[in-house]
Chains A and B, each alone.
Chain A
C-alpha cells in the first residue's frame, strides 16, 4: 500500500514537472521565467506548464494563433532576473515588466523578439549594459528603461530604430554622450537626466565620440 501511494505521489510529481502538453516553446519560455522569478504575491500562480499553451495563463495575452503577444507583469512585486528563454517569445509585442524588483542584466536574447513594439523595464534593478541587440527590434516604438542601474554607454546601434517614439533611460548610471541621429533627434532631455552622460554628441561641432 505504502509503495503504491509513494508511486502515485511520484507520478503526480512527474506530471507536474513535465511540460508534456506544451506544443510550443513559448509556454516553456514563460515557465522558465517563472522559475527564475520570486513571486511573493502569487501573480504567476496560474502559469501551469502542463497546459497546452500559455494562453490561459494570467498576465499573458495571445493572438488568434495562440502566440503570446503581451506579457503584463508591471507592478507585480516580482524579483529575480530574466533569462535567455524570453527570446523564444517570437511574437511578443508588449513586454511590460515595469515597477518590480527585477535585477541582473537585460538578456541579449531580447534582441530576437522581432515583433516587439514596447519594452517597459523601468523602475527595476537592472544592471549591466543596454544590449546592442535591442537595435534588431525594428518594430520597437517604446523603450523605457528608466530608473534602473544600467551602466555603460547608449549603444549607437539604437539610432537605427526608425520607429522608436519614446526612449527613456533617465535615472540610471549611463555614461558617454547621447546619440543625436535617427529618432534620437526628437527625444527630450528629460529622457536622459540623472545619469553620468556627458551631453549630446554635437556632430560637426565636436569630434564624434561617445565613449565613457
Chain B
C-alpha cells in the first residue's frame, strides 16, 4: 500500500518522458529504481519518518488512527496524517492529526520536522507543554493546537517562526503571559487563544503585527490594560478579549483601526469613558463593552458607526444622557444600554433605526415620557424600559407593533391606562407592567394569539374583572395581579388553564368562595390569594398535587382545616394565618415533609400541638401564635433541626414545662413562648441555643433561675416579665438580696491582694484546692450537698466560702463551669498543647473562674495586659510585690478558716 502510493508520481513522470529510448534503458532505470528501493528498505525509514515515530511513541493512540505508521516503510509520506512534497526528495510539509482521540504529550522531536508548513493537532487530548523546539520548524505557517489539554506557556520561541500566519491554541489550559516575541511575526494574520489560563498583560509588541486580522484571547485571566500600540494593527478586524481581567481605559488609538468589525471586550475591568475616537471605526459591526466599569457619557460620535448592528454597553457605570446621534445607527438591530446610571429622556431619534428589533434600556435613571415615536419601530420584538423613572402613559401606538413579543415596562411611574388594543396585532409572549401607577382595566386581547406566557400587572391601580380573553389564555404560565383593586369572585375560568403554574391574586378585593374547579389547575405550583375576602376553600385543593406554595392568609376563611390539603405533598410554604380556622390541627400536617414555612398564627385553632409536627425536618419557620392551642409543647418540636427563622407559640393556652428538647434547635434565631401558662424552670439545655437572637418568655408561670446564656444576661426584662418565679440575669437576684458585685473585695485593697495571692497559690498547687474541698465537706453536713445539685437556690445566708457576685450563686458557678470548661482563658496550658483533658486541667480552669470572680475581669485580656487572666494576675503579683508575702500552706488554711468566721 505504502509502496504503491510512493511509486505513483514517479510512474506518471516516467510515462510523460517516455519516448523512443530503448527498452534496455527503461529496464536499467527500473533495475536501478528497484535496487534503490531494496537498499532503502533494508536501510529502514528515513529520518523524518523516524522523528514521526518518535512523536508517536509519546502518544496514546487509542483508536489506532496511526496504525499504518510503519517502521518498515522507507518514508512516512504514505502515513495517515502525513503529507509530503512531491519533488525528488519528498519532505513532510504537513502533519494533520486533528480529531484522532490522541492523548499524551507532544514530543520535542517535533522541532526536527523542519520542513513543516502546517501542523494541526486540534481536537485531541494532548497534555503537557507545547515544546519550545517547535520554534525550530522555521517553515511553519499554520499551527493548530486548539481543543486539547496543553498546559504550560506559549513558548517564546514561536517568535522565530517568521512565516507564521495562523496560531490557534484555544480551548487548552495554557498559562503564563502571551510572549513579547510574538511581535516578530510580521505575517501573523490570526491569533486565537481563547479559553485558556493566560495571565499577565498583553505584549506591547502587538502593534508590530501589521498583518493581524483576528486576535482572540477571551476567557482567560489576562490583566494589565490594552496596549496603546494596538493602534498599529492596521488590518485588525476582530479584537476579542472578553472575560479577562483587563483594566485601564480603552486606548484612543483603537480609533485608527479602520477595518475593525468586531470589538469584543465585555466582562473585564475596563474603566474610564468610552473614547470618542471609537467613532472612527466605521467598519464596526459589533461593539460589546458590557460588564465593565466604564463611566461617563456615551460619546455622540457613536452615531458615526454607520455599519453597526449590535451595540452592547449594558452593566457599566455610564451616566449622562443617551446621545441623539444614536438615531444615525441606521443598520442597528440590537441596542442594549441596560443597568447603567443613564439619565435624561429616551431620545425620540431611536425611531429612525427602522431595523431595530431589540431595545433594552432597563435599570437606568431615565426620566420623562416614553416617546410616541418608539411606536414607529415596526421591527421591534423586545422592548424593556423597566426600572427607570419614566412617567406618562404607555404610548398608544405600542398596540400596533406587530412583531412585539416581549414588552417590559415594570417599576416606573407610568400612569394612565394600558392601550386596550394591546395584543390584537402582536404575538405577545411576555408582558410585565408591574410596579407602576396604571389605572383602568386589563386589555381584553393580550392573549389573542395564544402566545402569552407571563402577565404581570401587580402593584398598579387596575380595577374591574379579569377579562375572558386572559382567563382563557391557554398558553399562560404565570398570572400575577397582586396589589390592585380587582373585584369579583374567584375567576373560575382560570382553572381551565392547564399550563398555569403561578396564580397570584393577593391584595385585591376578590370575594366569595374559591370554586371547586380550582382543582383543575394540575400544574399549579404557586397559589397566592392572601388579603382578599374569600370565604370558603373547596376540598378540590387536594387535587393540586404540584402545589408548592399556598398562601391564603388574611381572608375570611373559617371551619376546620381541610384534610385534603395534606394530599399536596409538594408543599413547601403553607400560610393559613389571619383567618378564622377552628378546631384541632390534624396529625397529617406532619406528613407534609417538604414544608419549609408553616404559618397558622392568628386563627382560632385549639387542642394540642400535634407531636407529628416534629417530622417536618425542612421547616425553617413555624408560626402558631395567637391561637387557642392547649396542652404541653410536644418535645418532638426539638427535632425540627432546620428551624432557623422563628418558632412562635406565643399567645396560646399552653401549659406544662418547656421541653428541654427545644435546646436542640441550634439554628433558631427567634423564639416566642410568651403569653402562655408554661411552668417550671427554663431548661438548662437552652444554653445550646447558640444562634438565639431574640427570646420572649414573658407572661408565663416560669420559675427558677435563668440558665447561664450570655443572651439572657443582657436581655431586656420585658422578655421575662410576668413570670413570678424567675430570677437571675437581668431579673432580681435569685438569693433574694441585691448587693454590690464585690462587697468583700471592696473592703480594702489589702484583703483583695491577699485573696489574689491565695488564688494564685491555688493555681500553683493543686493540693490547695483539694484542701479547700476537704475543708468544705468537713464543715458542711454531707446531706446538704445534694441540694446544691438539685438546682435549688441556695439561701442568702448559706455559708459559701467565697463572696458571690451579684446574682451569682454557687449553683451558677457550677453551671458556668460546665459551660466554659473548654473556652479560652480558662484552658490549662497542658490542654492547649495536648488537647488531652485531665483533672489537672479542670482544676486550672476552676482556678481561673475563681480569679474571674475576684478580679471582675474576663479570662481573656487584651494583649497589652498579658493576654489572659492568669498572666494578668501573675503581673499583678509581681508589680505589687506580693510574691514575698506568698503564704505558706498552713497560713492559707488558717486564712480560710478565719474568712468564715
Q: Which residues of A contact B (CB under 8 A)?
A: 20-21, 23-25, 46, 51-52, 56, 58-59, 72, 74-75, 94, 96, 118, 120, 141-142, 165-166, 178, 180, 184-190, 197-200, 202-206
Contact = CB atoms under 8 A, between A and B. Distances in A.
Nearest first, the 7 closest Cβ-Cβ pairs linking A and B are: A189-B822, A204-B867, A203-B867, A199-B832, A185-B860, A204-B871, A204-B866
Contacts of B430: 21
Interface of B: 315, 338-339, 362-363, 382, 384, 386-387, 406, 408, 410, 430, 432, 454, 456, 478, 502, 525-526, 548-549, 572, 596, 617-618, 620, 642, 644, 667, 690-691, 693, 710, 819-825, 827, 829, 831-835, 858, 860-861, 863, 866-868, 870-871
Given A186-B710, A202-B824, A206-B829, 8 more contacts: A20-B406, A118-B644, A185-B824, A199-B832, A203-B868, A204-B863, A204-B866, A205-B870
A165 B822 contact: no
Nearest to B617: A75
Contacts of A190: 822
Nearest to A187: B823
Give the residue among A75, A185, A198 with the most B Cβ atoms within 10 A.
A185
A20 B429 CA distance: 12
A198 B833 contact: yes
Given A58-B548, A202-B868, A96 B644 contact: yes
Contact of B690 (A165, A199, A200, A203): A165
Contacts of B387: 23
B824 A180 contact: yes
B437 to A, nearest CB: 17
A205 B454 CA distance: 67
B362 A23 contact: yes
Nearest to B570: A58
B822 A188 contact: yes
25 contacts: A21-B454, A23-B338, A23-B339, A23-B408, A46-B548, A52-B408, A52-B432, A59-B572, A141-B693, A142-B691, A166-B690, A178-B824, A180-B824, A184-B824, A185-B858, A188-B822, A199-B827, A199-B831, A202-B829, A202-B832, A203-B863, A203-B868, A204-B861, A204-B863, A205-B871
B871 A180 contact: no
A111 B432 CA distance: 34
B193 to A, nearest CB: 22
Contacts of B824: 178, 180, 184-185, 200, 202
A23 B863 CA distance: 50
A205 B865 CA distance: 12
A65 to B, nearest CB: 9
A146 to B, nearest CB: 11
Query: Which label, helix, strand, loop or mixed, suits the secondary structure of the B interface?
Result: loop
Contacts of B710: 186
Nearest to B875: A204
Contacts of A180: 824-825, 860, 867-868
A72 B863 contact: no
Contacts of A23: 338-339, 362-363, 384, 386-387, 408
Give the residue among B410, B478, B824 with the most A Cβ atoms within 10 A.
B824
Nearest to B315: A25
Contacts of A46: 525, 548
Contacts of A204: 861, 863, 866-868, 871
Contacts of B823: 185-189
Nearest to B572: A58
Given A185-B824, A200-B824, A52 B410 contact: yes
B2 to A, nearest CB: 45
Contact of A120 (B386, B667, B863): B667
Nearest to A144: B667
A189 B338 CA distance: 51
B177 to A, nearest CB: 22
B408 to A, nearest CB: 7
A202 B526 contact: no
Contact of B406 (A21, A72, A96): A21
Given A21-B406, A72-B620, A75-B642, A202 B867 contact: yes
Contacts of A24: 339, 363
Given A20-B382, A202-B867, A202-B868, A166 B691 contact: yes
A167 to B, nearest CB: 10
Give the residue among A72, A74, A202 with the most B Cβ atoms within 10 A.
A202
A205 B868 contact: yes
A25 B382 CA distance: 19
A178 B822 CA distance: 12
Contacts of A198: 833, 835
B778 to A, nearest CB: 34
A142 B690 CA distance: 9
A198 B833 CA distance: 6
A206 B871 CA distance: 11
A52 B411 CA distance: 12
B753 to A, nearest CB: 21
B502 A185 contact: no
A24 B362 CA distance: 10
